[in-house]
Structure 1
Amino acid sequence: MSAPRFGSLHDGPAPAAPGAETFTELLRAGGARVERIASRAVRDGDWYEQGWAEFVLLVAGAARLGFADGTEHPLAPGDWVHLPACCRHRVVWTDPAVEAIWLAVHLP
Structure 2
Amino acid sequence: MPKHNRSRLVDRELSQFASARYEGDVAGAWRALERAHILGQTVILLHFVVHMRMLSFALQTRDFRETGGQLFRLALIPIGHALRRLPSGNTGRSDVSAFAIMPVPKDVAVELAQD
Q: TM-score, normalised by structure 2?
A: 0.29
Higher relative contact order by CA 8 Å / sep ≥ 6: 1 or 2?
A: 1
Structure whose residues are more often strand by fraction: 1
Q: TM-score, normalised by structure 1?
A: 0.30
